[in-house]
Amino acid sequence: MSPTALVEAASSSSAEQFDHRPRLPAQASTRTLPARRLDAESRAWWVRLHGARPVRDCAIAELHEHLRREAWFHIRLRASGMSEFPRSDLDDLAVQAADDALLAVLRKLEDYRGESRFLTWARRFAQFEAPVSIRRRMGHDHLANNPEWAAAVADPGCSPQERAEVQELLRKVSALIVGQLTPRQRTVLIAIAIDGVPTATLAIELDTTTAAIYKMLHDARRKLTTQLALH
C-alpha cells in the first residue's frame, strides 16, 4: 500500500472500526505555522504537508521514505544481536514501522512547535516504532497479554532446575504486568525497559511529558517490586 493510500485508509470510517486512533484529516489543514520561527527546510515540510494534492501526497511519500530508512537503521541495529531474528524480515518490518510512524506524525502534526528540525522530530516516531515492530514479529507481545507464554522464553541452555526457576519468575512477572499495571504503565514499562525507547520519544508518542513518563515508570517498577516481594 502506498503512503498516500495508507493515510486515506486511516482517514476512512471503515479503518476506524479496527483502529481506534484519531482519524487523520483527509483535506489540507488551515492551521497556521508554529509560533516559533522555523528553519527553511522545516517550514517547507509544514507547508507541503498542509497543502493540497498532489503537493501533500508527494510530501507524504517523501516523509515515509525518510521514516522507513530511520526505522531500517534502528531495526538492523537492534536485530544484530538477536540470533533468532530472521534477517529477511528487515525490509518488511522497516516499512511497517514507517507506516505506523507516518500515521503518528500526521496525527500529531499540529503539535509540532519547531523546537527541533522537522525531520528530527518526525524521525523520533520511527525510532519508537522500530523496536515495537521487532517485538510484534518475535511474538514478545504475548508476554504482556498471556502469562503462560513466558514459559517459552527461558534460555534452553539452563539446567532443568534453573529453567524451572526462570519460568516461574517469568510467569509471576508477566502475570503482575497484566494484573497490576494500568495499560499506560504497561506501555511505558515495555517501551523503556524492553524496547529501549528514549524517554523523550515516548513522551511525544503518548502526548505527555518526560516527567510524567518517569513517574509512570517509577510507579510501575515500585508496584512490581512490592507485589513480587509479597509472592
Measured in whole angstroms, the distance separating CA 146 from the mean position of its chain's CA atoms is 20
Q: 72 and 90 in contact (C-beta within 8 Å)?
A: yes
What is the reported pTM? Answer: 0.59
Asked if residues 137 and 121 have their Cβ atoms less than 8 Å apart, the reply is: no
Burial (Cβ within 10 Å: 0-12, 13-18, ≥19) of residue 155? exposed
Q: Categorize the per-residue pLDDT at 18 as very low, low, confident or very high, splitting at 50, 70 and 90.
A: very low
Task: Give residue limits of the domains in the chain.
Answer: 1-138
Task: Give 119-165 pLDDT, tens digit per residue.
Answer: 999 998 998 888 878 777 766 544 444 444 444 444 445 566 665 66
For 81-128, what is each residue's pLDDT tens digit?
A: 666 666 778 888 899 999 999 998 998 888 888 888 999 999 989 988
